[in-house]
Structure 1
Amino acid sequence: MNVSRWPLAGLLLAISVSAQAADPTAVYGKGGANTAAMACVTCHGAEAEGMAAAGFPRLAGLSAVYMQRQLADFASGERANPIMQSIAAALSPEEADAVTTMLANKPRPDVERIGRTAAAQGLGETLALRGAWERNIPECVSCHGPGGVGVGDSFPPLAGQSAQYLSSQLIAWRQGTRKNDPNDLMGHIARGLTEDEIKAVSAYFANLTDTGAGR
């Protein structure tokens, strides 16, 4: 698995780095498809809901500030991906702001806000709701919010993202190819997880439905 997995590559490859990209409707369009809109839909779905089978994450409803920060980190090389680095570096601040604002305003899936008081069954659910404090690994919901719905501009949603994407990012943090988290928080957590734990906790969040129960 590619550890970076192009979190915004499919989207940004679709954007002509020109004045057209400054208009959010040029990315997804309003009625009638255009080249940019078709390319975005191909990678991230009609509503930017992501394509799990291909490992492309959901972008709809993510914080615009968070996505802008990721673009800046790709451009600087802080987050490693040679394809994303060149694309992000070519975007003007206005273009990055326009596309991330548009994506942030897309509907996000409804997920029941399950917190630490819920019963935890299975390895993935235990890590998500209880953590592994004997190894100084906090529960995921302590930072990413009840049900993994995300908190503010620093902790993105986990619920509903594909297991392939989530596990790829944990592996990237563990290997040090992604290191743009505050105080190496995710790096520490990822290095403490086994392969089975990475798969289990990724599958747990990927399988949350709008009622908060696994599919």
Structure 2
Amino acid sequence: MNKKPFSCMSGLMGAAALVLTAVMSPAALAQDDAAAIERGKNAAMVCIACHQANGGGMSIPGGESWPRLAGQDRDYLVAQLKAFKDGTRDNISMKPFSMMLNDDQMMDVAIYFESLPFPDTTNVTVNADEALLEHGQKLVEHGDWDRYIVSCQSCHGPGSQGVGHFFPNIAGQHEGYIAAQLKHWQDGSRKNDPQDLMGSIARRMNDRDIQAVSAWLAKQEATSKE
């Protein structure tokens, strides 16, 4: 006779515990992130020579480009570090740095860079005239279905601000870096995208398309996921 009331009371207590846990979780997560950010900041000292202290990266006209990491999704950054480490993404500069980090350190570094504010792209200068920028905007926002080029926003979300850890925030990313990655997917030297999504799109793009998309995205403002 006592089993049913006892079971109900247990259920109520369990539900209350879940509610209490849910209420406490954000603060606990914030504390965990704060500690991870501090550890990540120390571990990321080797990163700033290329990616800059503010995580903004840099691009040398006609030369190499290092991507913006500031504000990028933590899980995406970890996935890229692991890809550099295991060789599924080939980069002669990143390989030795990724080998220095274990999984916990990778996450700390990723949380640190994710916590940094997006750099201002208001005055970014790109290698494109208005006609080319218009072409880039069309491809980013609408694609070109006659050539089966899917719009960037179809995967990277509204404003190309990123979706989860498969599709990074590419708004405000460096023009040279975006162009280089599209060409790497085009020639098959980069293959760590899910189901060859980027490879299949990049192979349908010509040099003008790549230049246009890269320039237009570089001038866009990245915004917080919050």
TM-score range, shorter-chain basis? 0.7 to 0.9
Q: Which amino acid letter does the alignment assign opposite residue 64 of structure 1? A: R
2:58 is the alignment partner of 1:42:
no
Quick one: structure 1 residues 105 and 40, their matched pair in 2 at CA, closer, same or farther if it must change by over 3 Å?
same
Relative to the length of structure 1, the TM-score reads 0.73
**In the aligned structure 1, how far is the partner of 2:59 from the partner of 2:208?**
20
Aligned residue runs from structure 1 range 140-159, under 5 A: 140-159=152-171
4+ residue runs over 3 A deviation: 39-42
- Greater shift, 169-178 or 93-102, is seen at 93-102
Structure that is richer in helix per residue: 2
**In the aligned structure 2, how far is the partner of 1:24 from the partner of 1:130?**
38
Aligned residue runs from structure 1 range 53-64, under 5 A: 53=60, 55-64=65-74
- Structure 2 equivalent of residue 206 of structure 1: 218
CA contact (8 A) 1:143 1:155 kept: yes
**In the aligned structure 2, how far is the partner of 1:67 from the partner of 1:206?**
19
2:121 is the alignment partner of 1:105:
no
- Structure 1 equivalent of residue 58 of structure 2: 51
- Structure 1 equivalent of residue 41 of structure 2: 25
Identity %: 40
Q: Cα RMSD (Å) of the superposition? A: 2.4
3-state DSSP of counterpart to 2:67: coil
CA contact (8 A) 1:150 1:157 kept: yes
CA contact (8 A) 1:50 1:56 kept: yes
CA contact (8 A) 1:52 1:161 kept: no
**In the aligned structure 1, how far is the partner of 2:115 from the partner of 2:53?**
14
Spell out, residue by residue over 1:90-131, the C-alpha distance to the aligned partner (whole angstroms, 9 max, x if none): 3211211111111111112589xxxxxxxxx72111101110
Spell out, residue by residue over 1:62-99, the C-alpha distance to the aligned partner (whole angstroms, 9 max, x if none): 11111111111111111112332233133211211111
Quick one: structure 1 residues 40 and 83, their matched pair in 2 at CA, closer, same or farther if it must change by over 3 Å?
closer
CA contact (8 A) 2:57 2:69 kept: yes
Relative to the length of structure 2, the TM-score reads 0.70
CA contact (8 A) 1:129 1:140 kept: yes
CA contact (8 A) 2:65 2:174 kept: yes
CA contact (8 A) 1:66 1:154 kept: yes
- Structure 1 equivalent of residue 87 of structure 2: 77
- Structure 1 equivalent of residue 104 of structure 2: 94
* Runs of 5+ consecutive residues of structure 2 not aligned to the other structure: 1-37, 122-132
- 1:57 shift after superposition: 1.0
